[in-house]
Amino acid sequence: MIVGGGIGGLATALALAGHGIPSHVAEQAAAFGEIGAGLQLAPNASWALSRLGVLARVHESAVFPARMVWMDAVNGEPLTTLDLGSAFVERYGFPYLVMHRSDLLEALLAACRANPLVTLRNNQSFTSLVDRGDVVDVSFADGTTMRASGVVGADGLWSRVRAAVVADDAVCSGYIAYRGAIPMADVSAHAGLDNVMLWTGPDMHFVQYPLRRGELYNQVAVFKSNRYAAGAEHWGTPDELEECFSACAPLVRTALTRIKRDRRWPMYDRLPVTTWSRGRVTLIGDAAHPMLQYLAQGACQALEDAVVLADAIASSPDVDLSDAFRAYQDARIERTSRVQTLARAWGEYWHLHPGDELDRRNVFLRSRTADDYTHTDRFYGYRGAP
């Protein structure tokens, strides 16, 4: 039983089916779908998608940016560049992709629907489970109960399955995001339309990149709200957005006018844990290790989880499933904990205020070469090893 039919849940079902293992995906929504716009997929995600057999389908709607460009959002000057061309592909075996979240989900969904080992059900809202040692009974809001050999919680940051394994709370960073994709024809021509553009400033950043074969342009504005307080509702408002970005360079201020104000996304994560498996219940993706978005590794780590989990189950078919779940956890928990922790630190590095630390950072960034992959190897070179 896989609880949650998002990217991680469908990838897990597909990975299990690749080993001949049937699964049931329970999705609470009336239809399978993804909220949000852009998604960055580093080579470690492409490795997983290749294992799942959907990489060619993903490439049909993806964009292959030429480089990542880091800009100073206040003065508009470049800080550093990461070349994503031939040297990058040769080093990691796969290109860097950017795409619409819904396009990735559709690729996974089509593959699941075509596989007789995957059962997909909507309107199944998980409420509770009972691990009976040899099976797990799973209950849903409509009063139905299903029995499974094991349960994989793939139900995201606010995972209900997680409560059966870990007692903790999500942590709000005080940052909030506004995002949206606009037609490429509506974007003013300037350098960067074939790049992933990152603009950073004190307590804020702005990200831009093309989507869907270059037909759309994704934009995300993120800032720290001075009004945030635990339990408060009115914080991160559009007027704060305007105020935070008011001192930015003209290109950023102009682009900001195309960001919709009708919805905003508070940014949460959780602290790394020492275990996310208990008996015949385990977690993947944001249910196991939700992280802030600064490393663009959330979906990548979920895809890695799916492949490693399926491999662990398939490698020991005669072993108790709880042992396979622990083996999967042991193979993944150190890596994902490190990514969670580094994502927080990377956000702090982006959002520095004027001062000595910012000056030292900028001197370092300007000194590095575009083909220096020293700091990306740990993320992008993963191929299933701990």
* Residue span of the structural domain in which 50 resides: 2-169+269-380
Residue 340 CA to residue 338 CA, distance in Å, equals 5
Host H or E run for residue 307: helix 298-315
- The domain total for the chain is 1
pLDDT tens-digit map of 150-206: 999 999 999 999 999 999 999 999 999 999 888 887 776 655 678 999 999 999 999
Using 70 as the pLDDT threshold, list the residues of the chain that sit under it.
36, 188-192, 385-386
pLDDT at 188: 65
Residue 284 CA to residue 47 CA, distance in Å, equals 17
Q: Is 268 a known active-site residue?
A: no
The answer to whether residue 75 is domain-embedded is: yes
Please tell me which residue in 178, 209, 294, 328 is annotated as part of the active site.
209
Laid out side by side, the sheet with 23-26 consists of 118-121, 23-26, 2-3, 151-153, 281-283
Long-range contacts, 129-134 (Cβ 8 Å, 24+): 129/161, 129/164, 129/281, 131/164, 131/278, 131/279, 131/280, 131/281, 133/279, 133/280
Model pTM?
0.96
pLDDT at 233: 79
Structure tokens at 201: 């400033």
The answer to whether residue 326 is domain-embedded is: yes
The answer to whether residue 256 is domain-embedded is: no
What CATH number is given to the structural domain containing 327?
3.50.50.60
The answer to whether residue 54 is domain-embedded is: yes
